[in-house]
Amino acid sequence: MISQHSPYLKHIYVCVNCRETGACCANADGEAIRAKLKAFVNDNGLKGKVRVSGSGCMDLCSKGANVMVYPDHQWYGRVTLEGADRIIDEHLRPLLAHADRQNGKTPIRAFLFDLGNVLVRFDHMIFARKVTSRTNASPDELFRLFYDSPLVADHDLGKLSFQGFYERLKEAVSLQVSCDEFKMLWNSIFSENAEMVSLARQLMKRYPCILVSNTNRAHFDYCLNTYPFLEELTGWVLSYEVGVLKPHPDFYRRALELAGVAPSNAFYIDDRQDLIDAAHSLGFQTHRFSGDVKPLLNELKDRGIDQSLLRPV
């Protein structure tokens, strides 16, 4: 027989016992609770430090599901799947904070992806060139008007409907295009960035991944129909829905709420340096996306992201 200190910092026993008659933990989500705790351990690098075991009956059957945590000598009864979060908060998260202090790295617990020129490429000039002959403006004038004006900001903030946006532009540059054709041309600027979509899909297996975009309903509806992977993301923060634009701190706060993490645990990818700088000053980990996925993959590798997630799907 060998006798030594336990190799684990914590050992969590979840009763998964099934009784033929009367209450039992198997009928009170014991297995699902065990799986949830185990997933947290595996996903947060605690394997080898924390052991989650399914146990036999603890003789507290009417109070199931029952969970015991050692060496804390803590018993939890009537644990639900949602209630398991409390066990995670009280016994497992403190271990993460301790590990972070020891290795001097702040772990990434969620990703925020910009849409335009990150997950989806776009070229404003495609639209300007297609439309210029049907206006009294040059492509450069159109570019400035369409993409760098209070009109566009109001549209992206949801203050102006697509119809209203179209009518204001029509008046401003004598636009001779129907509203339907205008919408089709307006949406013709996008193409998928397959490498970034593949990376996001991989990261989604373990991390909340939130879309954070200054955009308008017409563009986003089009992207959602054309690029269904957007539905797979954990959530979206869209300027026209929340009524603020990046880099307003409220915008980033909404993203953190959706992801359920602190700024220091969020990794934010955007192509605009001003937005990156603003998020960095709020405490985010950031990467300015240049269009080349390799520097991003190298940075994620350096920051400790599992390499299996950095390979194409």
Chain centroid to CA 277: how far? 19
Least distance in Å: CB of 60 to ligand FES?
5
Least distance in Å: CB of 81 to ligand FES?
16
Residue placing its CB nearer to ligand FES in the complex, 64 or 247 = 64
Least distance in Å: CB of 20 to ligand FES?
11
Distance separating alpha carbons of residues 137 and 98, to the nearest angstrom: 61
Residues in the site for ligand FES, rule: CB under 6 A? 15, 17, 19, 24-25, 57-61, 64, 66
Residue placing its CB nearer to ligand FES in the complex, 19 or 101 = 19
**Phi and psi, residue 88, nearest 5°:** -60, -45
Least distance in Å: CB of 57 to ligand FES?
4
For 50: left if phi > 0, alpha if psi spans -120 to 50, otherwise beta; the answer is beta
Residue 158 CB-density burial (10 A; 0-12 exposed, 13-18 middle, 19+ buried)? middle
The count of other CB atoms within 10 Å of the CB of residue 159 is 13
How would you list the strands of the sheet with 67-70, edge to edge?
A: 50-55, 10-15, 67-70, 74-76
Residue 214 CB-density burial (10 A; 0-12 exposed, 13-18 middle, 19+ buried)? buried
**DSSP 8-state assignment for residue 132:** G
Residue placing its CB nearer to ligand FES in the complex, 14 or 118 = 14
Residue placing its CB nearer to ligand FES in the complex, 76 or 182 = 76
Least distance in Å: CB of 50 to ligand FES?
21
Least distance in Å: CB of 224 to ligand FES?
45
Residue placing its CB nearer to ligand FES in the complex, 18 or 184 = 18
Residue placing its CB nearer to ligand FES in the complex, 26 or 185 = 26
Residue placing its CB nearer to ligand FES in the complex, 15 or 269 = 15
Least distance in Å: CB of 92 to ligand FES?
22
Distance separating alpha carbons of residues 223 and 206, to the nearest angstrom: 24
Terminal C-alpha separation, the chain = 47
Give the CA count within 13 Å in the CB-facing half-sphere of 151.
19
